[in-house]
């Protein structure tokens, strides 16, 4: 699970980059098809954040990510801000409890 704190004014671009990340990761067979969900919310000061939940095909994928994915990660980092003591991109390993 990754939380992305969008820079003000970059919300639409970040949403597009998230969709491109999912499409590219699926095409490269780096992720499982399900579960996958992307949500959008508002934080203090009406600032937008996104949460993207998905499962890598295996835990080693992020450490050996192909160039196409690394380029998307660069775009993501450009579109986020650290806030509230949290980095712009915040990763947490989670597991599915209910199918």
52: domain CATH number is 3.30.70.100
**pLDDT tens readout for residues 8-25:** 999 999 999 999 999 999
Tracing tokens 């934080």 back to the chain, one arrives at 43
pTM: 0.90
What does the pLDDT read at residue 99?
A: 66
Looking at every residue in the chain, the average pLDDT score rounds to 94
d(CA 31, CA 53) in angstroms, rounded, equals 11
Tens-place pLDDT, residues 48-65: 999 999 999 998 999 999
CA distance 60 to 56: 8
Task: Note the pLDDT tens digit of each residue in 28-45.
Answer: 999 998 889 999 999 988
Q: In which domain, by residue range, is 49 found?
A: 2-91
Does 70 map to a domain?
yes
Q: Tell whether 99 is covered by a domain.
A: no
CA gap 2, 89 in Å, rounded: 7
């Amino acid at each position: 699970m990754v939380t992305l704190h969008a820079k003000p004014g970059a919300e639409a671009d970040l949403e597009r980059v998230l969709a491109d990340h999912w499409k590219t990761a699926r095409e490269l067979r780096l992720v499982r098809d399900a579960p996958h969900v992307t949500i959008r919310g508002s934080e203090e000061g009406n600032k937008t954040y996104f949460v993207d939940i998905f499962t890598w095909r295996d835990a080693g994928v992020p450490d050996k990510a192909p160039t196409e994915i690394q380029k998307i990660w660069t775009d993501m980092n450009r579109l986020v801000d650290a806030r509230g003591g949290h980095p712009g991109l915040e990763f947490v390993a989670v597991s599915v409890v209910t199918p």
